[in-house]
Amino acid sequence: MTTTSPAMAHPLCLRRPTLRHFCLRAHLARSIVAQVAKRVPVDVVMPDGSLLDGGTRRRGLPALQVVRPTALFERLAHHPKIGIGEAYMAGDWRAAEGTDLAELFTPFAERLTTAVPPRWLRLRGVVDRRIPSTQRNSLLGSRRNIEAHYDLSNDLFAAFLDETMSYSSALFDEHLPPRAQSLETAQLRKVHAILDMAKVGQDTRLLEIGTGWGTLALEAARRGATVTSVTLSREQAALARRRVADAGYSDTVDIRVQDYREVEGVHDAVVSVEMIEAVGEEYWETYFRTIDERLAPGGVAAVQSILMSHERLLATRHSYGWIQKHIFPGGLIPSLQAISETTEGATRLRITGVEAFGADYAETLRRWRETFLARWPEVNALGFDETFRRKWEYYLAYCQAGFATGYLDVAQVRLEREGVVPAAG
């Protein structure tokens, strides 16, 4: 006797060879998800209340509720890495009642290298897709990539960020419970920590690569520094200039819509907060060489970067994922080893200090997501739809789980010049 899966039983799958092949892939995707469900402490609940792996509900475990199984498994069959996020955006699955989305992601993040059976991991080369050439961070490509995210709407970001408008990890006081501290205070603590690392003070000529909405430039100006800050986001630049003018620092803070590769001049310090993730591996050498060339003798650079392990970087560096398609086109998170190897190979810069605080990013993301969802009616009124809401909920929860489990980290890295630039070639 032969048996046919629900996916394979569809009349079109039985009649048309092309669709039959696709249905076979969907059936395979369903099988892989069922195997993953047995290796990860998460219940995958089907629409009829049964579990995908055939087991019974386990008390206290997070649960994934499948809403439209056919659509879900077809998306996974088409592109496993991107399909799971797009299925959430479409409403094909959700966190079950009583399960927080970040808590649902956490067991998967903890078992990222073991959740999928080894025999299926060998097919990674078949299912992975390379990053599209259209996302290269050339001078034109970088503008396009930055605009796709940061020029969505200043009002959107203002809806869920704190009063400092800081869109990077906060730094909480380790001597106090994080939840007893305001996000605004923790963000300012982060800003002053990296300014201290770069030795920014009275009369410092500071170059900031990646303006954001101007908080770091303002805090540096309050220390007596003269600031040149560059961004590719016209929306950010417009608001940052208004904030600088309102604070009375227009004479000492110059906000430019300019690529970091086009900056000239000599600066006592260079600071860049979570901008390297948008540089792209192809341009890491250019980024650090630019910092090196812009630093005055004895100058200090401080870079805040999201980090992943070097092993994971090597495994995923050329693979196109959901985050790159839907959130940060052209983005790639470096490893600390990659930063060290790049600076040692292409510049006189050397790492002289590292302060990591990944758990603080998990808390930062938790607060952003909580506020985003609480203020969704305001965001919705700006013209963003339910698909956008699910996309950003997924993005924030996915990243929160990554930092909470240590799969991702964030650190402030001090760089100081040493020796001579290596000869080309």
Asked if residue 107 belongs to a domain, the reply is yes
Least confident residue range of 162-176, 285-299, 315-329: 315-329
- Average pLDDT value for residue range 3-28: 54
| 70 and 207 fall within a common domain | no
Pairing mode, strands 205-209 and 267-273: parallel
**pLDDT level of residue 36 (50, 70, 90 thresholds):** confident
Asked if residue 425 belongs to a domain, the reply is no
Answer with the residue of higher pLDDT: 9 or 69.
Answer: 69
- Average pLDDT value for residue range 342-368: 98
- Average pLDDT value for residue range 271-280: 96
Asked if residue 5 belongs to a domain, the reply is no
Check pLDDT > 50 for residue 424. no
230 and 211 Cβ atoms separated by less than 8 Å = yes
Q: Which helix (H) or strand (E) holds 344?
A: helix 336-346
The whole-chain average pLDDT of the chain stands at 89
| 86 and 213 fall within a common domain | no
| 139 and 74 fall within a common domain | no
259 and 139 Cβ atoms separated by less than 8 Å = yes
| 103 and 165 fall within a common domain | no
**Domain total in the chain:** 2
C-alpha to C-alpha distance for 354 and 54, rounded to whole angstroms: 48
Check pLDDT > 60 for residue 423. no
| 65 and 190 fall within a common domain | no
| 140 and 90 fall within a common domain | no
Burial code (b: 16+ CB inside 10 Å, e: under 16) for 383-402 equals: ebeeebbbbbbbbbbbbbbb
| 233 and 357 fall within a common domain | yes
Helix (H, G, I), strand (E, B) or coil at 245: helix
Least confident residue range of 272-281, 284-293, 416-425: 416-425
pLDDT digits (tens, 9 = 90+) for 246-256: 999 999 999 99
Say what the pLDDT of residue 320 is.
84
| 106 and 182 fall within a common domain | no
Asked if residue 6 belongs to a domain, the reply is no
| 156 and 221 fall within a common domain | yes
Answer with the residue of higher pLDDT: 252 or 13.
Answer: 252
CATH of residue 318's domain is: 3.40.50.150
Range of the domain at 395: 134-417
- Average pLDDT value for residue range 39-63: 90
**pLDDT level of residue 37 (50, 70, 90 thresholds):** confident
Say what the pLDDT of residue 2 is.
38
pTM for the whole thing? 0.89
Q: Provide the 10 A C-beta neighbour count for residue 37.
A: 19
Question: Which of 106, 127, 148 finishes a domain?
Answer: 127
| 116 and 140 fall within a common domain | no
Q: What are phi and psi of 15, to 5 degrees?
A: -95, -30
Asked if residue 83 belongs to a domain, the reply is yes
Asked if residue 2 belongs to a domain, the reply is no
Answer with the residue of higher pLDDT: 228 or 32.
Answer: 228
| 157 and 237 fall within a common domain | yes
Question: Which of 68, 102, 127 finishes a domain?
Answer: 127
pLDDT digits (tens, 9 = 90+) for 111-167: 877 666 665 555 555 556 666 667 677 777 677 777 778 778 999 999 999 999 999
| 277 and 338 fall within a common domain | yes
Which residue from 13, 29, 30, 33 is spatially nearest to 21, judged by alpha carbons?
13
Check pLDDT > 60 for residue 355. yes
pLDDT digits (tens, 9 = 90+) for 191-209: 999 999 999 999 999 999 9
Least confident residue range of 23-32, 46-55, 313-322: 23-32
Question: Which of 96, 127, 158 finishes a domain?
Answer: 127
Asked if residue 422 belongs to a domain, the reply is no
Asked if residue 3 belongs to a domain, the reply is no
